[in-house]
Every structure is written in C-alpha cells, then in structure tokens.
Structure 1
Amino acid sequence: MLGQASIPLVGVVDATVIGRTGDAAALAGVALGATVIGLVFWSFGFLRMGMTGLTAQAEGAGDGSEVEALLLRALLIGGMIGLVLFALHLPIIWLAFKVLAGGEAVTLEAKAYVQARFLGAPAALCVFALNGWLLGLGRTRSALMLQVVMNIANIALDLLFVWGFDMGARGVGLGTAAAEWIALTTGLVIAGRVAGASAAGGVPAILRRTSWNKIVERAALVRLFAVNRDIMIRTLALLFMFTWFANAGARLGAEALAANHVLLQFINMAAFVLDAFAFTAESRVGNAIGSQSRAQFMRAVRLTGEFSLGAGVGLAALFFAIGDPVIAFITTDAEVRATAQKLLPFAALVPLLGMPSWLLDGVFIGATQGRALRNAGVLAAIGYIALDTALRPLDNMGVWMAISASYLLRAGSLACYIPALLRTFDRRSDPSGDPAPAGVPPRV
C-alpha cells in the first residue's frame, strides 16, 4: 500500500509545482498533456499488468527459469516500444492535439510538456515491466523502493526546472522524464538482486544465464501476446474514457479543465492505494492458479476484498475531511479552487464506487483472463460515453456523474464472469478432485 500510495505522487507533484505558480493555463496544459501521455504510455500498460499474472503463475508452478525469462522478454519489448514512441513523437503530438480541445495558450503548454515526457518513453515502459515482475513475485518492498527513488527524483527535478529555471510545463515534463530514467537504472539493480545476482551484475547477470532461445521461445511469446492483446484493448478503452473526460472539461474552459485535473489527484491516490490490494490479489490469484488451488484462490479474494472495502471507506472519509485544504494547497487560482471544491463530493465518493472494479481487475489480471477484462472495459467505455453525452446539459456536474457511474458499469461487467472463472478450477481437476497435472496451462 505504501508503494502504491507513492505512485500518484508523481502526478500530484507535477500538478502542485505548476499549480502554485498561479498560472491556470500552465496547470491546464499539464492536465491536457498528462492525458495525452497517459493515453500513449498506458496503452502499453500490459507490460505491468500482464507481467504480474504470468510471473505469479510461473512462480507458483516453481519455474524459476521462466520467471527470469519473463523479465527479459518484457524489458526487451518495453524498450523497443519506447524507442518507437520517441521516434514517432512529433506526429503523435500533432494528431493528439488535433483531437483534444483546448485554447491556444493551454495547447502550447501541453505540447511543451508532452514533448519533454517522450524523452522518458523507453524508461517508463521498462519500469512498467519491472514493477509487474516484482509484484508478481510478491516483492512489494522492492517495488516500494523503486517508486520512492522515482518520486524523490521527480520532486527534486520538478522544483529545479520549474521554480529554479522557470521552465513552466516543459520543466515539469523534463523532471518526470529524467526521474523515469533514474528509476529504470535503480530497478535493473533491484531486479538483479531479487534474482540472486550481485548488485554490480544486475539484470545483465540474468541475461548471461538465460539463453536467447529461451527469451524468444515461440510458445511463451504466443501466450504473452495473447494475454496482453486483450489487456491492451481493455486498457485502451479505459484510457479513451479518461481522455474523453479530460476533453469534456476542456470544452468547458481552462478553469474547468484545471479543476478536474486537481480532483483527479484524489482519484489517482484512491486508485493506487486500493490497487495495492488488487496487486496483492493479482499475485495471490496467479499463484493459486499456478499451483491449482481453489481454496487458496477463494482466500485471496476474500481477504483482499475485506481490506479493499475498509480502505475504500477510510479514503472516502479522509477526502471529505481534508479535501478543501488540499485543493487550496495544490492551486492558488481562486476560480480553479472554487470549481474543484464544489465538485469535491464526486471525487471523494470514488474510493467506494471504484473499489469493486479495481479489486476485480486484480483478480482477473492474476488469472490472466484477458477476454473478461477486455469485454468489461469496452462495455464500461460505451456506457460512460452514452451517459456523458446525455448529461451534457448539467455541464461539469454531468461530467463527474458520468465518470462516477463508469466504475459501477465496469465492476458489474466483470462480476458476470466470476462463475466462469470459478469453473476453470473444476476443469483443471480430475473426477476424484485431485489437481490436474502441473503442466496444464491456465485458460486465457
């Protein structure tokens, strides 16, 4: 939970450092730019999510060589995709701001932020892979260390570039991109130590003892891409929702867009804290499937569900209690503050509304049930867009009502797949109730 709570601090720091300059256009530009980066980078979030379930299953099956090969495959894929994104960043930026709304001043700041963030694309995607691998092994303390290093670097560099060098939104982007490279360097050392290599050897030591044929093994790659294809579609659907959400705020003006971005920091904090339990579910569910234990699966779901509910209630109460002063700290613009404080109840209720969907994400990711995740994500996105369109007469309140309902749509869609998930354990057992042979792969 500590590791997850620290992840959204990157966004909070970015928003606060630029928000306290009092420049609403710059804050709105970072908001719009962060939406573009989120859409592009997290389109490849399967490098984190798919890795967790696959790694946990390999660990549960006692296949240490596959655990290490999974890391190397994901780092290779992440680095290659990151380099392609960097090479194509100019046309991507041009296309993104042809689609997204925003005034001239806001768009100028957003472009500067996005261009700087693309410098960190290869590092960001490789860090996704490292986090997924560490979480799949249940090495949450190592994942926390990696995130803490990134946050400290991000805070220091943001302050240097924005308050020291007066670089505005571009400085925020540069600070975060540099922090991602620092995090990658740290993560490679951590991964090597987790795998039993020396700190000096790191991941190269793993590479030396893993054959290239093992890394590019056809069956493993087919399974990796089969799982990740559906997760990628699901992620794109959810990212499209939040891009639509940002654009809905942008249509209402810079103040509305900036206020919504401030409130998104509450949602990000809730999502990442509650994702701590979802990630635990990913690891434990994946391990249960790898060892083919229905009892272990049910225990993981029950315990993570109980903790998620308690944390959701606690976060909602906390946001209601401290929301106003936090908003006042993040931004000094009076109009942005007033708008955000008016809509705070919606953001404060998200921990309760979103808790079931985040937890079920963890269960199905750990089970590598990509099809269920894909279908639920697409259905939720379609339902959200329909609601947002119908509620437009309510202006920004309608925007928040629609996004709040989307969490319930996603949870309801995933819940429909629970009986089928439970039946996979029955199919893995013979009539006597004994577990199926260890070589039987989980159903994708």
Structure 2
Amino acid sequence: MTTPEPITHARVLRIAVPIVLANMTVPLQGVADTAVIGQIPDATPLAAVAVGAALLSTLLWVFGFLRMGTAGMTAQAHGAGNRAEVAALLTRALMIGGAGGLLLIPLMGPIADLGFAYSPATDDVKSLARDYMDIRILSAPAAVAIFGINGWLGAQERTRAMLVLQIWIVSLNVALNLLFVVGWDLGVPGLAWATVCADWTGFALGLWLCRGAFANPAWRDWPRVFDRARLRVMAMVNSDILLRSLMLEAVLLSFIFYYSAGFGVAVLAASHVLLHFIQIMAYALDGFAFAAEAMVGQAFGARALDRLRRAVWLTSLWGFLSNFAFALAFALLGGLIIDGMTKDPEVQQAARRFLPWIVLAPVLGLPAWMLDGIFIGATRTRDMRNMMAISVGIYFVAATLLIPLWGPHGMWAALMIAFIARGVTLGLRYPSLERAMQ
C-alpha cells in the first residue's frame, strides 16, 4: 500500500472537471436531437421525440444502478489496494450491462404500449414516438454496458478517459443527426439511427479504454468473478440503487409523460426543452458528486474518517459554486437557449413562462445530488432507497394538491419540492454514514 494522495482542491478539480465536461455532453446529445427536429415548424415531431426519449431514458436509466454500484464498490476496492477485485468488478459490470440491455429489446414493445395507454398525447405523437423507440432500443446493450464502464473508470479517477468516451459518442451523434435528418431527410427515425451508431461505437471505444484491466488475469478468474459472497453484496447494492432509480424515473416520467402531456402539445414540448436545462446542470454537478463517490469510497475502503469528512466538504463546496454559476447562466441566457432549441412560437412562449423554475433548480437540487454521490461512495444504498421512497411520496402529494391550484406551474413546484425532500431526508441520514466507519 502506498501513502494515500492528499485530498485537496486541485485533486477535486482534477477528478471533477473532466467529468463535468463529459457529463455535459450527455444531455447535449438530446439537445442535438431537439435542435435538429425543432427546426421543423410543427410541434408534433418535437413532442414525439419528447415522449419517445422520455420513455427510453427511463428504461435505460433504470440500469443507472450499474454505474453507481460499480463506482462505489470499485472505489472501495481501489482504496483497499485490491487490484484483483477491481479487475473482476469490470467483468461483472460488463456481463450485467450486456444481459440487461438485451433484455430490454423484447420488453420495449409491451412497456411502450402500457405507457402510451396512460398518456394523453395525440395519436400522431404516439405513432412517431413508437417509430423512434423501435429503432433506438437496438443500442440498449451498448448503452447499459457503458454505464458500468464509466463507473469503473471514474472510481479510479480516470476521468479523462470518460471525457474522451463521451465526446466521441456525442460528436458522432451530432454529425449523424445532421447527415441523416438534414442531409438525407430521414426525420425522426434518422435521429434514432444516429444514436444507435454512436452508442455501439462508443462501447467499442470504452473497452479499449479499459484495456489495462484485461492485462490482469483476475478479470477472467471465474471463481472470483462468480464468488457468491461478492455477488451477494453486488446484488444488494445494485438492487437498492435500482429501486431508487425506478422511483426517481417515476417522478421524471410522470412529469413529462402524464402531467405535461395533459396540458397540450405546446406545454409538453416546452417541458421537454426545459428538462434539458436540468439535465445539463445535473450532469455537470455530477462531476463533483462523482469526485465524492471516488474519494468517499476510497476513504471507506481505507477506513479513514478524516479523509471522508474532507472529501465531503471540498466536493460540496465546489458543487455549490458550480450550481450558482448555472443558476446565473439560466437567468441571463435561458431565453436565448430556448429560442435556439425550438422555432415554434407557442413552445417558445410556454418555455419562457416556466423558465424561473429552472433558475431555482440548481440551488434547490444541490443537496440531493451531492448527497447521492456521498452515499454511493459509501455504498449506503439502503438509505438512498428509503429516502427516495419518502421523497417520491411527497412529490405526488404536492402534484395532486398544487396542479389544480396553479396549473402547469403546480407541476413545476412539485418537482422542486421533490428535490428539496431528497436533500433533507438524505441529510438526516448522514450521521449514520459516519458511524458506519467507526
């Protein structure tokens, strides 16, 4: 074992900045889809992409547990100096990702039918959304496996590799969007094919970036890979995060798929545009949450409480500064960004009406996003699951009470209340996290 590297501002930034840049490119993939299809002076294709992308994002991000669980366990193995287990964790993550993605392909049809049955979106919107989803689901095995690759790389502070991977995926997606939609006039299906191509080539690049693990024989040490005790721990961690992710996606899906759609095509399309603001901000903040995952996990692996506390303090400080900058940018530039993403005047007007909620989101969401990273690094996933359940209940109660009073503003208020509830409930559980190290 070598002496642990000091936890400093420079180290936090070295981990977080590439993640901030990499994660900001992830929602930009959706922004590119929206911007390309938004050039059509008709809200129906944009609304179709909103519905299809929302449902697909839900299906895929259900497997977000793979990134988070892999990150926490890999960071702890790395902190304990267990290189063999680090390599074996990559194999487990790739196997789970590939199998999970393959399972989604036949399940997508029935899930889409169920979702559309309860959506008030128009038949034209549903038809175009289904065309989009039938194609894009073909990249599910690659997209899910990339979650595991990112968690494995980030836990070892290899964030520049993550940046390279995300830049490749988004750049290729944007280029193919322009070729397929603008050049070849393939419309909504062209957007889907662009994403399929970008995801599969990104998966191949991710394997190459992880090539160092394949030099360690432990990656194919099958008794270790399939060790019952390790698999049991991984299953518990991942199942807790899965349930937490399902509940979070229930909030986001109900927001866009049910509440927004219930107010008409213009509000649905506007909500889709504005959620990209939150996604960009959340993905950027995830850079500092990811730094917390890595350093908190390593501190847990080394059983070093002082390092844990310093990691929590420094990553949260930088997360606050980052979110303040986003709130200011949304307030000053939000209108211009909206106009660049959609040319439909009715959608532009609706999005501008709800923009103040987007300005509040970075401030209200900060505690929840940072505490997620801290609890993931500590693999305190049961607390994450239980506190999310409470927060989701609060969200649906708020939506039920506020939407009849305030209309579309009520659904945005309920979403902000959900952010606050997540931060407060996890904050109340933080002392137990520290006690677990003693």
Q: Pick closer, same or farther for the CA change 1:147–1:352 going to 2, 3 Å.
A: same
Matched, 1:415 2:427: yes
In structure 2, distance between residues paired with 1:346 and 1:28: 21
Distance 1:365 1:314 in 2: 25
What amino acid is aligned across from residue 64 of structure 2 in structure 1?
G
Per-residue CA deviations over 1:98-139 (Å, capped at 9, x if unaligned) read 233311111111111111110100000000110011111111
In structure 2, C-alpha distance between the alignment counterparts of 1:258 and 1:333, rounded to whole Å: 10
The match for 2:92 is 73
Question: 2:406 matched to 1:387?
Answer: no
1:211 aligns with 2:230: no
Amino acid at match of 2:172: A
Deviations 1:36-57 (A, max 9, x none): 1121111111111101100000
| Residue matched to 1:399 | 411
Distance 1:206 1:88 in 2: 36
Mean CA deviation greater in 381-390 or 207-216: 207-216
Which whole-Å CA distance do the structure 1 matches of 2:366 and 2:345 have between them?
32
1:8 and 2:27 correspond: yes
The structural deviation recorded for 1:14 is: 1.3
Give 1:206 deviation, angstroms. Answer: 5.3
RMSD: 1.2
Listed one character per residue, the Cα deviations across residues 144-184 of structure 1 (whole Å, up to 9, x for unaligned) are 11100001111011112211222222221221121110110
- Contact between 2:132 and 2:189, CA under 8 Å: does it hold in 1? yes
Aligned residues: 417
Kept after mapping to 1: 8 A contact 2:25/2:167: yes
The one-letter amino acid paired with 1:129 is G
Paired position in structure 1 for 2:298: 287
Return 5+ residue gaps in structure 2 as ranges.
1-19
1:23 to partner: Cα distance: 2.5
Comparing 92-101 with 60-69, greater Cα deviation is found at: 92-101
Per mean C-alpha deviation after superposition, the further-off stretch among 386-395 and 145-154 is 386-395
TM-aligned CA deviation for residue 207 of structure 1: 6.7
Query: TM-score, normalised to structure 2's length?
Result: 0.93
Counterpart CA distance in 1 for 2:219 and 2:176 is 37
Distance of 2:171 and 2:67 partners within structure 1: 22
Counterpart AA for 2:358: A
Partner of 1:120: 139
Residue number in structure 2 paired with 1:305: 316
Give the secondary structure class of the aligned counterpart of 2:384.
helix
Could you give the per-residue CA deviations for residues 52-100 of structure 1, whole angstroms, max 9, x where no partner exists?
A: 1000000000000100100100100110111111133222222221233
Structure 2: which amino acid aligns with 1:406? A
Report if aligned partners of 2:84, 2:219 keep a CA contact under 8 Å in 1: no
Residue aligned with 1:391, SS: helix
- Look up the match of 1:357: 368
Structure 1 stretches of at least 4 aligned residues deviating more than 3 Å after TM superposition: 205-209
User: How far has the Cα of 1:319 moved from its partner?
Assistant: 0.7
Equivalent residue, structure 2, for 1:439: none
Mapped to 1, the partners of 2:299 and 2:289 lie a distance apart of 15
Match of 1:275 in 2: 286
Alpha-carbon distance, 1:311 to partner: 0.9
**Which ranges of structure 1 fall in alignment gaps of 5 or more residues?**
196-202, 427-444
Structure 1 position 153 matched with structure 2 position 172: yes
**Residue 171 (str. 1) matches residue 190 (str. 2):** yes
Q: Return the match for 2:74 from 50, 55, 66.
A: 55
Separation of aligned partners in 1, 2:246 and 2:219:
36
With over 3 angstroms needed to count, the CA separation of the structure-2 counterparts of 1:208 and 1:310, relative to structure 1, is closer
Contact 1:65 1:210 in 2 (8 A): no
Could you tell me which residue of structure 2 aligns to residue 262 of structure 1?
A: 273
